[in-house]
Amino acid sequence: MAAPTIEPEAESGTAPAPGSTRGGLGDKLSRLLYARPKLRLTALLTLPLAWLGVLYIGSLILLFITAFWTTDTFTSKVIPAFTLENFIEILTVQAYQLTALRTIGIALAVTVLCAVLALPLGFYMAKVASPRMRAVLAIGITLPLWAGYLVKVFSWRITFMSGGPLDWLLAPLGMTGPGYGTTALVITLAYLWFPYMAVPVYSAFRQIPDNLFDASSDLGAKAWSTVRTVAIPLLKPAFIAGSIFTFSLSLGDYIAAQFVGGKTQVIGTVIASNINLNPPLAAAFGTVPIVVVVLYLFLARKSGALKQL
């Protein structure tokens, strides 16, 4: 091997470790790291795990512990003394029960609305539209994701305003918009999270081979029964994957509720209004969305849809 003099280490082509014939600090470090994969892994994971594992998970655990504490009713100071009072309160006081159920109901309604809209849209995009149209629509449904959360809430606040655009649009039909309230909230949330449902449904539609549809219609199925018996079962994982987002995002939302929900109270509103006055109660109520989301994820996992994520 005729190695040039500038790079003498090139001669040791079979060197066990990189840079092993040099003596600089970087090379020493390099050799050390190269020889010890565990050291490299530790170096990579220490900082992120300190952040996520200690600070974040630690905070969640502390929150859970706080839920068993109590507050001084006069000073709002947290007193670390074990009690089940907060949990008993959220489970027995009717206002809390109703708020939890209402929020779950809203989250389900949002999910259903998103799914119902995503099905024909995904079908059109994947199987009917021209490639050009498909690309335009694909960007069209994802771009608003980044338009800003509050901006989108604000846009629906304007839309639903009394005497606003929706009322104006519906006036010739002799109708008025729903105004701020639960209906407006469901529509706004569906608008906010729609891309999370539309994208997986559309991609799943694309993966269904065209000849499955042809076979179905050759066998005499009408368009709708093809969709119902062929497409929907194949799309189930995509619907479930999308629903995880639409459901859990709606469950935790309370800002939209404040601006378009009128007097509608959701889990988040209760947590937010208690965080300074009664942190343990807020913490206890904060476990409700966690439990619901975990249950939902568990059900989704059982259906096998999570592997597709």
Within residues 175-194, the interface with another protein by CB under 8 A covers 191, 194
272 lies in the binding site for another protein (CB under 8 A): yes
In the list 33, 108, 112, 306, the residue contacting another protein (rule: CB under 8 A) is 33
Give the residue among 132, 136, 138 at the shortest CA–CA distance from 200.
138
What residue spans of 5-146 are helical by DSSP H? 25-35, 37-49, 57-66, 85-92, 94-123, 131-142
* Both structure tokens of 280: 């343990």
CB of residue 152 to another protein, shortest distance in Å: 7
Minimum distance from residue 274 beta carbon to another protein (Å)? 9
- Report whether 262 contacts 179 (CB < 8 A): yes
Q: Figure out which of the listed residues 1, 4, 23, 37 binds another protein, where binding follows CB under 8 A.
A: 37
Per CB under 8 A, contacts with another protein among 56-115 are: 56-60, 62-63, 66, 78
Nearer to another protein, 73 or 276 (CB): 276
Indicate which single residue of 106, 109, 110, 121 sits in contact with another protein (rule: CB under 8 A): 121
Token pair in block for residue 75: 């000073």
Whether residue 142 contacts residue 203, with contact meaning beta carbons closer than 8 Å, is answered with no
Restricting to residues 220-259, name those near another protein by CB under 8 A: 223, 226, 248-249, 251-255, 259
Q: How far is the CB of 73 from another protein (least distance, A)?
A: 18
* Tokens 């800002």 sit on residue: 255
Shorter beta-carbon distance to another protein: residue 96 or 254:
254
Token pair for 43: 């170096």
**Contact 178/158 with Cβ under 8 angstroms?**
no
Are residues 260 and 248 in contact, defined by beta-carbon separation less than 8 angstroms?
no
* Nearest distance in Å: CB 111, another protein: 15
Task: Mark 150-179 with x for binding to another protein (rule: CB under 8 A) and - for no binding.
Answer: xxx-xxxxxx-x-xxx-xx-----------
Tokens at 22, concatenated: 């040099």
- In angstroms, the CA 178 to CA 246 distance is 22
Least distance from another protein to the Cβ atom of residue 193, Å: 12
